[in-house]
Structure 1
Amino acid sequence: MRLSKFTHACVRIEDGNRRLLIDPGIWTEPAAFEGVTDVLVTHEHDDHIDLERIGALLIDRELRIFAPSAVRELAVREGASGVADAITPVAPGDTFTADGFAVTAVGGEHAEVYEGLPGCANVGYLVEGVYHPGDSFFVPAQPVTTLLVPAAAPWFKLSEALDFVRAVAPERAFPIHDRMLSTDIGFDYFDAWMREKGNTDYDRIPNGEGVVFQVLG
């Protein structure tokens, strides 16, 4: 299995002819979509789904999008009917197949920023041992071999991220949701804490690059 990291929270998982894209938001590079037919979206915020770009892609190609029902409702409100039609609503507990990958939806709620906000749905995805939590620190009951850990956000606290990694106890972890760390100083600071206190094999994947590892047996 190959895991490729793109700007912010977007990753692509590949295994043979199977390709799956997760959370392609407004900062995602065009290369992320190459050869992709199936997309997972954790929630409705534009750093996780770019309705305009996906709408443009749907003019010339087929995309199957799996997302919380709130994402489909947003697409309808924004007049992106093509995107809405391409979305299959998913909820925590659902299991399904996306381009040959076995996927389980978990979690349900976006982490709180302040005074109950943003108060929207957030579905994390387990893809054959790889866990993308979206904007949450939800700990799934299922085993996780590879954790994608958020690194910076308005709802974020470093100690919570460390506790999250320890609670999930993956074999390895890589950072996502890191656009707010705009300099190498921020990256180095977060990486140092994860390597020192995360109790897992931690490394950073440069944007546009990938790593290869064995899938969950």
Structure 2
Amino acid sequence: MRLTKYGHACVRLEAGDRVLVIDPGTMSETESLSGATAVLITHEHDDHIDVDKLRAAQAANPALTVHTYASLAAELGEGATAVAPGDTFTAAGFTVRAVGGRHAETIDGLPDCANLGFLVDGVYHPGDSFFVPDQAVDTLLVPASGPWHKLGEAIEFVRAVSPGRAFPIHDANLSEVGQENFDGWLEEKGRTAYARIPLGGSVDLP
């Protein structure tokens, strides 16, 4: 499986002619959706979903499927399928399990919206949460910044998930210095193999 990192929280998974994209938001590149046959959306915030890009991709490929939680699926309409925490389904030929359920809190109970994490054949994208799934994770996509985010909690999250490897996502708000700082802490304290994938760069997963 090939994993490609696009802007902010967006990643693309490819295996042969199967292409699955997670969270193509307003901070990600349009090319991330080129040739995609399925899209997973963790939650409604525009850094995780760009409706205009998604509509354009659906117009180019009417067979494109979108999977997200019920209320957002209803808003998106045709082509969107509702999934819930605990559901296991197939998207672009990949086996996907939805987990979690709520966005991490920033303060005073906000933003108080749904958030699904997705486990895709051993790759875990948690969206905006530090939810720890109850099954093994080979590759963890760990959020690196956000108004709800604390570095220590990110490190504890990686330790709790105990993946074979981890790569950062959700990092558009970090300067180069901020990225280097986050990477240094995760490399030293994360207790797993950790590396940064450059924007547009790819890694081949075992």
Which TM class, normalised by the smaller chain length? over 0.9
**1:59: Cα distance to partner?**
2.5
2:71 maps to a residue whose letter is A
Aligned residue pairs, count: 205
The question of 1:184 aligning with 2:176 is answered: yes
Q: How does 1:141-152 map to 2 (within 5 A)?
A: 141-152=134-145
The question of 1:70 aligning with 2:71 is answered: yes
Tell me the SS of whatever aligns to 1:105.
strand
Deviations 1:149-195 (A, max 9, x none): 000000000000000000000010000000110x2101100000000
* Structure-2 separation of matches of 1:23 and 1:185: 25
Aligned to 1:161: 154
Deviations 1:18-58 (A, max 9, x none): 11000000011121111101000001111101112212332
**What is the TM-score when the length of structure 2 is the normalising length?**
0.97
Q: How does 1:40-59 map to 2 (within 5 A)?
A: 40-59=40-59
Give the percent of matched residue pairs that are identical in Structure 1 and Structure 2: 57
> What value does the CA root-mean-square deviation take over the aligned residues?
0.9
The question of 1:120 aligning with 2:122 is answered: no
Match of 1:211 among 182, 195, 203: 203
Deviations 1:55-109 (A, max 9, x none): 2332232220000112124x3xxxxxxx421110111000000011000000000
Q: How does 1:65-144 map to 2 (within 5 A)?
A: 65-73=66-74, 75=75, 83-144=76-137
The question of 1:199 aligning with 2:200 is answered: no
Runs of 4+ displaced beyond 4 Å? none
Tell me the SS of whatever aligns to 1:85.
coil
**What is the TM-score when the length of structure 1 is the normalising length?**
0.92
* Structure-1 separation of matches of 2:86 and 2:116: 10
1:68 maps to a residue whose letter is Y
Deviations 1:104-148 (A, max 9, x none): 000000000110011111000000100000000000001001000
Tell me the SS of whatever aligns to 2:32.
helix
2:92 maps to a residue whose letter is D
Aligned to 1:80: none
* Structure-2 separation of matches of 1:32 and 1:58: 13
The question of 1:170 aligning with 2:194 is answered: no
